[in-house]
Amino acid sequence: MNGAEFLISALEFSGVDTCFANPGTSEMHFVAALDGSTSMRGILGLFEGVVTGAADGYGRMLDRPAATLLHLGPGLANANSSLHNAKRALSPVVNVVGDHARNHLELDAPLTSDVEGAARPFSNWVRTSSRSEALLSDAAEAVTVALRGNVSTLVLPADVSWTELEEVPSNWPCVGTVPRPRVDQGSVEAAARALIEAGPRGLILMGGRTMRAEAVEFADRIGAATGARVCSDTFLPRVERGAGRHNVGTVPYPLALSQELFSRYDTVVLVGTKPPVAFFAYPNSRSEISSPGTRFVDLCPSSPFAHDSLSAVYDALPEKLRHQDHESRRVAMVAEHAVPDRPSGSITREKLAAFLGSAIPENSIIVDESITTGSGFYSATTGALPHDWLSATGGAIGWALPVATGAAIACPERKVVCLESDGSGAYMPQALWTQAREGSDVVTLIFANQRYQILRDEMANVGVSKIGERAANLLDIGSPSIDWVAVARGFGVAARRVETMDDLGKAFDQAISTSGPALIEVLV
């Protein structure tokens, strides 16, 4: 057994059975070892950002990692924007990066680079395996760290990969499971006391991996008892929402609106998040969203098990608060199933929002990078059939097509709907090829306004009042126009273009009722 075969066995033993890959020469022993694997599935991406983005989507849905396989420093560089998003999403990822054989590094061959240095800003844990025998413990530690919601990067030198083990270790190390954080009673009591004292000036702010239905329900019950409001971060890795689930509003993206919201609260209990800040700095504006002097209470780390701490806070409230008649408010916070009439005629942003509210399939996964076109999509789908909603976390655009691919592979029994803008979609359209090859059940809506509209809006936010011809050339993508139908078909995905709401409804219904990937270009 050589090092590559041993590493795959170690990953399989650790519960990793999927590897998204874009390999090169240094990784060929790993690729060959897949033929002898008992359970590892190899999935090819035509660009490294697709590989790591798919691992992000996979981790968001299953709370356990897939592996990736990348080629040297340049391959890692191509992958790092998606790793940045995965790190910010707290997605578990085991990122394997091949490197030159150790005796080859000193020769400074053309592809030589500082792989560890390139990995550190986008990883929570980085290690280079120094010998084949160490791969078992290295893999176990990488998986254990990833399961806490981290990106682990394991650098695999080619000679460590091809070296035959003289003796295969028999003592396989223990691999951790998804950790269930201990409820900190001191934090629980501090949060309960702060919310009681603040009353309607209190806010429960949720973020990270905490937005699961059970946790949101407990937060709402606490809010009903104390008078506090419940809110979530603007962008979240995954939210369980829709009809029958408790509805939580998000912090607005525009800085002025978010600061106005937080001016109403002097006490904020943090659930899996941190004090909020603006996405960017703007001239003559504070970057902090909360008002000066706001009291923050950190309840618990980001975890799918945040409901443990929230339940404890509710139990810590005085009995008279817990048993007061707040039923009417709690019921009002549960989203009712609302199916608006499907709009017809010309396509507008408002009509698109109403359409999605009526058309989202039950138990679907919505991946949203619709940006300006989709500014009203989230609120309009509150009463849609139950679904999961995945949004941007790190801000590196082009993530939605790869994340949708990984989510579909993680959950093949669920329909994935990808809401993508044309500018962002042009970053990693190669994800469509992987969807076609794997038969992934993804319906992609490309909203084609032929411009980077978000950047036009940001021009105004930073104080630029006039956009000249040269500046406009860097913000518009309509000359030439991207033919998304041709792009999708070129990658093997069925596609069509629509210019009316009526045609969109027909195309969407057909795509939803058909297995495999499909793309609809929506002219807006």
Q: How many residues are listed for the chain in this entry?
A: 524
CA distances for 325 relative to 319, 331, 512, angstroms: 12, 11, 43
Q: Is residue 343 part of a domain?
A: no
Task: Reply yes or no on whether the pLDDT at 213 is more than 50.
Answer: yes
State whether 427 and 487 are in the same domain.
Answer: yes
Answer whether 96's CB lies under 8 Å from 52's CB. no
Q: Is residue 248 part of a domain?
A: yes
What CATH number corresponds to the domain at position 201? 3.40.50.1220
CA distance 218 to 134: 44
The answer on 158 and 60 residing in a single domain is: yes
Kindly state whether residues 207 and 152 are assigned to the same domain: no
The 8-class DSSP code of residue 500 comes to: B
Pair 157, 190 in one domain:
no
53 and 146 co-located in one domain: yes
Instruction: Indicate whether 85 belongs to any domain.
Output: yes
Whether 289 is in a domain gets the answer yes
Read off the tokens for 489: 């078909």
Q: What is the pLDDT of residues 460-517, one digit of tens each?
A: 888 888 889 898 888 888 889 999 999 999 999 999 999 999 999 999 999 999 999 9
3-state SS class at 210: helix
Query: Tokens at residue 409, please?
Result: 């592979």
Helix (H, G, I), strand (E, B) or coil at 261: helix
Element of type H or E holding 322: helix 319-322
Over 80: is that where the pLDDT of 176 sits?
Answer: no
Identify whether 395 is part of a domain: yes
Reduced to 3 states (helix: H, G, I; strand: E, B; else coil), residue 268 is strand
Paired tokens of 420: 């993508």
Residue 497, helix vs strand vs coil: strand
Q: Tell me, yes or no, whether 42 lies in a domain.
A: yes
Best CA proximity match to 300, nearest among 147, 179, 217, 143: 179
Give the model confidence (pLDDT) of 328-385 as tens digits: 555 557 888 888 889 999 999 999 999 999 999 999 999 999 999 999 999 999 999 9
Q: Are residues 353 and 327 in the same domain?
A: no
Number of structural domains in the chain:
3
CB 450 within 8 A of CB 476: yes
Q: What is the pLDDT of residues 429-457, one digit of tens each?
A: 999 999 999 999 999 999 999 888 888 88
* Cβ atoms 127, 154 nearer than 8 A: yes
Task: Indicate if 158 and 278 belong to the same structural domain.
Answer: no
**pLDDT score of 149 more than 80:** yes
212, 196 Cβ separation under 8 angstroms: no
Last residue of a domain, one of 300, 333, 366: 333
How far is Cα 177 from Cα 20, in angstroms, rounded to an integer? 21
- CATH number, residue 155: 3.40.50.970
What is the reported pLDDT for 181?
87
Contact 366, 274 (CB under 8 A): no
The secondary element (H helix, E strand) that includes residue 459 is helix 453-461
In 10 A of CB 2, how many CB atoms?
A: 17
In a domain, 433, yes or no: yes
Asked if 425 and 499 sit in the same domain, the reply is yes
Last residue of a domain, one of 275, 302, 333: 333
Cβ of 240: how many Cβ atoms within 10 Å? Answer: 16
Q: Does the predicted TM-score (pTM) go above 0.85? A: yes
d(CA 482, CA 446): 11
Which two three-digit tokens encode residue 412? Answer: 């093949």
The answer to whether residues 277 and 251 touch, using CB atoms and an 8 Å cutoff, is: no
Encoding tokens for residue 353? 């929002």
CA-CA-CA-CA torsion sign (414, 514, 448, 502): negative
What pLDDT, in 10s, does the model give residues 396-429? Answer: 999 999 999 999 999 999 999 999 999 999 999 9
Asked if 462 and 431 sit in the same domain, the reply is yes
Structural tokens at position 375: 């500014």
Q: How far is CA 460 from the centre of its chain?
A: 28
pLDDT tens per residue, range 263-273: 999 999 999 99
SS (H, E, C) 16-64: CCEEEECCCHHHHHHHHHHHHCCCCEEEECCCHHHHHHHHHHHHHHHCC
3-state secondary structure 328-345: HHHHHHECCCCCCCCCCC
Indicate whether 339 belongs to any domain: no
Q: In Å, what is the CA distance from 147 to each residue of 87, 214, 389?
A: 12, 21, 21
Q: What was the pLDDT predicted at 212?
A: 97
- φ and ψ at residue 130, rounded to 5 degrees: -90, -15
Predicted pLDDT of residue 162: 97
Q: What is the percent of the chain with per-residue pLDDT over 90, rounded to a whole number?
A: 86
- Are 150 and 52 within one domain? yes
Domain that holds residue 506: 349-523
What is the pLDDT at residue 18? 98
Q: Mark which of 298, 333, 368 sits at the end of a domain.
A: 333
Report phi then psi at 384, rounded to 5: -70, 170
Can you give the three-state secondary structure of 99-158, one letter per residue?
ECCHHHHCCCCCCCCCHHHHHHHHCCEEEECCCHHHHHHHHHHHHHHHCCCCEEEEEEEH
Residue type at 276? Answer: P
Long-range own/partner contacts, residues 280-284 (CB < 8 A, 24 or more apart):
280/458, 280/461, 280/462, 282/255, 282/461, 282/462, 282/463, 283/462, 283/463
7 lies in the same domain as 150? yes
